[in-house]
A and B are shown apart, each in its own frame.
Chain A
């Protein structure tokens, strides 16, 4: 190992300090450029540049509190759908390249096709949120700093009960920013859709 190191050091020294400086600068530029390009794909404007997003989920999101509210503090697409930590973010971005294939094939290029796939797409996101304990919600909404005294009558009770049972945000707050896929509620004709147990999972046994 030391042999290799030596030769590497020798080689670098041979190239001269100028080359080292150039390599370092190139590294900074490459890393900066990579991050910049990544951040470009993490903007609301980029997300709705494809009409699949703009015509379906974005329209629904515009009616919700995360789009517009009294203080103007917003949660845009990537705040909920792209993890903030580097590792999970890379994994999500690589998985998202599948969406380019879907875009090219026109998998959901009409509202009707989108509605037909909504159940599957929603469950993907629910699964992801459940697995990381709703981390994207908690980036802003920190359970430990909830002031129950200023919460509403219902939210106060439900949040404390939910916390005690070890629930996570997405267990109750499905459809907070988009419309829901069909949910079985036994009203009128059977519309299929997700079972009540999926909408409201039974909490894990108290530890």
Chain B
């Protein structure tokens, strides 16, 4: 047997022995995810959370937070052909619909050039702006709104 190969075999046997000596739950106890199941386990049921009905705009919790969506968005089409969000929130449409107009920060292309409407890289609104459901926080926390926004 060549030397490197022998070392490899010894290491393998040692690893096997160690795995046998430790109780199988030890590794599971060390890492406990808040999703409550192993990553390889089937997905948990979604929980039947209900979207919150329309409400007034929700105040930001920290500076630079993308404002949350204070209404239902089920069935809203955002495709290559049409962007339902921009049907109300575009600068040309918001007055008629009483909607909040999109931020001017969204009008820059990636080279910093000014556009007359949102940049295509901002097209998928719900990557940052999210609708709300009645789900409770998964774990307790002491989060507080940023001082300047209280």
Give A78 Cβ to nearest chain B Cβ, in Å: 21
- Assign chain B's interface to a size class: 20 to 34
8 Å CB contact of A154 from B54, B75, B86, B93: B54
- Complex: how many Å from CA A189 to CA B119? 10
Is the CB–CB distance between A64 and B75 below 8 Å?
yes
Is the CB–CB distance between A188 and B81 below 8 Å?
no
Is the CB–CB distance between B98 and A187 below 8 Å?
no
Is the CB–CB distance between B75 and A63 below 8 Å?
yes
Is the CB–CB distance between B71 and A191 below 8 Å?
no
Query: Which residues of B are found within 8 Å of A185, using beta-carbon distances?
Result: 82-83, 86-87, 90, 117
Query: Which residues of A are found within 8 Å of B116, using beta-carbon distances?
Result: 186
Number of A residues whose C-beta is below 8 Å from B? 24
Contact string against B for A residues 178-194, beta-carbon threshold 8 Å, 1 for contact and 0 otherwise: 01111101111101010
With CB as the reference atom, state the residue of chain B lying closest to A185. B86
> Restricting to A156-207, which residues have a CB under 8 Å from any CB of B?
157-158, 175, 179-183, 185-189, 191, 193, 196, 199-200
Q: A63-B75, A153-B54 given as contacts; is B118 within 8 A of A187 (CB)? A: yes
Query: Which residues of A are found within 8 Å of B79, using beta-carbon distances?
Result: 179-180
Contact string against B for A residues 106-119, beta-carbon threshold 8 Å, 1 for contact and 0 otherwise: 00000000000000
- Complex: how many Å from CA A95 to CA B82? 29
8 Å CB contact of B98 from A157, A191, A196: A157
> Restricting to B54-109, which residues have a CB under 8 Å from any CB of A?
54-55, 71-72, 74-75, 77, 79-83, 86-87, 90, 92-93, 96-98
- Complex: how many Å from CA A179 to CA B123? 17
Query: Which residues of A are found within 8 Å of B90, using beta-carbon distances?
Result: 185
Q: Does B53 contact A (CB under 8 A)?
A: yes
Contact string against B for A residues 131-153, beta-carbon threshold 8 Å, 1 for contact and 0 otherwise: 00000000000000000000011
CB-defined A-B contacts under 8 Å, sample of 20: A63-B75, A153-B53, A153-B54, A154-B54, A154-B71, A157-B98, A158-B97, A175-B77, A179-B77, A179-B82, A180-B79, A180-B81, A180-B82, A182-B81, A183-B82, A185-B86, A187-B83, A187-B86, A188-B120, A200-B96
15 more A-B residue pairs beyond the given contacts A65-B74, A189-B120, with a C-beta to C-beta distance below 8 A: A64-B75, A65-B75, A154-B54, A175-B82, A180-B82, A185-B87, A185-B90, A187-B83, A187-B86, A187-B118, A187-B123, A188-B119, A188-B120, A188-B123, A191-B81
